[in-house]
A and B are shown apart, each in its own frame.
Chain A
Amino acid sequence: MAEIVLKVNDVSKYYNISNSGSISRDLSNWMSSKKQARPNGKLWALQNIDFELRKGDRLAVTGDNGAGKSTLLKILSRITTPSSGTIHGKGKITSMLEVGIGFHPELSGIENIYLNGAMLGMTKRDIKSKVEEIVDFAQVTNQINNPVKRYSSGMYMRLAFATAAHLQSDTMIMDEVLAVGDQNFKKKCIRKLNDLSKDFGKTIILVSHDKENLSSLCNKEIKLIKGMME
C-alpha cells in the first residue's frame, strides 16, 4: 500500500449567520446583549468529515449544490480554517478552485504563467523548466506574448488549466475545472490527470458534476449530503 498523504480527522465547519455589518447595529446588539440573546445562528456547512488518501489516489467529491463540496476543498487548500478537527498532510498541495485565478489581463501569457506559478508556490526555476510544456499543452504557442485580455475565453482557460496541471505538487485540488474548453481538450485534460496520478504518483481531489468523466478517472468517492458524508 502507498503511504498516506492526507488524513482528515473529524472536520466540521460552521458559518456564523450574524446580523452585524454596521457599527450602529453592532453597538445596539452589544447594548441589548444582556437583556436578550443575540440572534446570531450557526450554519453547519460540514459535519464530521473523516477520510484518508494514499499516494496516487484520485478522489471525487460529489453532491448537490450547497452540500459543502467547495467548503471542503477550501479547507483542504487552507483558504479557510475548519471550526473543529484537524488535517494532517504530507507534501506540497496546490489547488485550483477556479480556472485562471490570479491572471492579470494586462500581462502576457508567458508572464502570467510565471505569476500564476509563483502564486502556487513554485520557484522561478521550477516554472522555467515547465514553460514550454505548458504552452504546448494549452495550444497557444503563437499568442503567448500577447496580453491575456486579447485571448479567446477558450485559450484563456486552456492556458490556466495547463499552468496548474504542470506545476510541481504532490496533491492537486480541482473544483469544476474540467469544464474547460471543447470535448477534445477535456479528454486531453483527463488523460493528463490520469498520467499525473499513475506515472508521477500525484494525488488528485476533484469536484465535478460530470459523472462520466469522474468515474473514468477516480478510484474513490465521497458523496456529501447537507454537509455530511453519506
Chain B
Amino acid sequence: MRKQEWLIRPQEPIFNLKLKELLQFRYLLSQLVYRDLIASYKQTILGPAWLIVHPLVTTFVFTLVFGRIVKIPTEGLPQPLFYLSGIICWNYFSECLIRTSTVFKDNANIFGKVYFPRIIVPISLSLSMFFRLLIHISLLFIVMLTYQDQQYSFSFFRMITILPVIIILMALMGVGLGLIVACLTIKYKDLNFVVVFSLQLTMYTTTVIFPLSSAPKNIVPLIQANPMTTSIEAFRYAVFHTGNFGFVSSTYSIICGILLFSIGFITFNRMEKTFVDSI
C-alpha cells in the first residue's frame, strides 16, 4: 500500500478545492445526508410527513389572506399553485441559507475534535435540502393534477431544461450567502438574529406572493435587483409557462449566484482553519 504524504503549514492557498480529499470523504457526505434526513424525524409522530405540512399550510394561509382577502392577481394561475410554487422556491433558498449560516455553531463540537474537509457539511446540507425540494416539487405536481382543467401549458422539455439551472442557481445563492454569514457570525454572534428576521422580510420583496407583471413599472427593477425574483419567475415559467424573466435579469441572477458562492467559498476556506481558536 502506497502511503500518502502530507504537510501542515501555517497558511494554505486561498482557492484550494482539495478535490482529492473530498473524494476520499465521499462516504461521509452520504452519511451526513442520511443523518440529516433520517435522524431529524425520529421520535416524531408525523415523521417525514412534516416535510409537506409546512408548504401546504403556508399555501393555505397565503391563498386565504392574499388570494381571497387582498385579492392579488396571479396571472391566471390557480392561486394555490401560484403560492405553492413561490413558497417552494423561497423555502429552498432560505433553508439553504439558514442551515449553512449556522454551520460553525451547530458543529462547533465536532469541528473542534475531529478533522475532515469542513466544506463537506455545507455540501451535505444543500444535498439534503435538495431531496426535500424534490419532494416539494412532487407535491406541486400532485396539486397540479387536481387542477387539470385549468389553462396552463405544461411542457416536459421546458421543465427539464430550465429547472436544473434554477435549482443550482438557488443553491449557489443560498449556500454562498450562508457561508458568508457563517464566517461573519464567528466574530459577530448577533448576526444570526438579523438573518432570520431579514429573510422573512425579503420574501415580500420577491415574487412569492405577487406576479412581477402586477408590480408598478417603476419599481420592477427594484424587485428584480433581488436575484431570487428571477429564479422564482423562471421556475413558474418552467412549470406553468407564466412569469416574467428576460435575458438581462437571468444573466444578472446567474452572475450574482456565482459571485456569492465564490466569495462564500473563499472566506469559508480561510476561516475553517482558525475558527476553532475563536469560537
Contacts and interface: CB of A to CB of B under 8 A. Distances in A.
B9 A86 contact: yes
Given A15-B277, A90-B4, A101-B113, A107 B39 contact: yes
B27 interface: yes
A106 B7 contact: no
Interface in B1-35: 3-12, 24-25, 27-28, 30-32, 35
B31 A114 contact: yes
B151 interface: no
Nearest to B31: A118
Interface string A19-44: 01111001000000000000000000
A101 B110 contact: yes
Contacts of A79: 111-115, 276
A83 B113 contact: no
Contacts, number: 112
Given A79-B112, A95-B114, A106-B42, A89 B27 contact: no
Nearest to A45: B277
A75 to B, nearest CB: 7
B10 A82 contact: yes
A82 B8 CA distance: 8
Given A77-B114, A170-B3, A119 B28 contact: yes
Interface stretch (A120-128, A186-194, A205-213): A120-128
Interface string B181-200: 00000011110000000000
Given A79-B115, A90-B4, A101-B113, A74 B35 contact: no
Nearest to B42: A106
B10 A121 contact: no
A130 interface: no
A78 interface: yes
Contacts of A92: 4
B154 interface: no
B148 interface: no
B3 A91 contact: yes
Interface string B89-126: 00000000000000000000111111110000000000
A196 interface: no
A22 B4 CA distance: 43
Given A81-B274, A102-B110, A104-B39, A89 B116 contact: no
A181 interface: no
A87 B8 contact: yes
Given A115-B31, A119-B114, A121-B28, A80 B43 contact: no
B4 A120 contact: no
Contacts of A23: 188, 190
B114 A101 contact: yes
A84 B10 CA distance: 6
Nearest to B110: A102
Interface string A49-85: 0000000000000000000000000111111111111
A165 B119 CA distance: 26
A75 B8 CA distance: 8
Nearest to B39: A106
A106 B42 CA distance: 7
A114 B27 CA distance: 9
4 shortest interchain CB distances as A-B pairs: A118-B28, A87-B8, A78-B115, A91-B3
Interface of B: 3-12, 24-25, 27-28, 30-32, 35, 38-39, 42-43, 109-116, 187-190, 273-274, 276-278
Given A81-B9, A90-B6, A124-B27, 12 more contacts: A16-B277, A26-B187, A77-B115, A79-B276, A82-B10, A85-B10, A86-B9, A101-B110, A115-B31, A118-B27, A118-B31, A119-B116
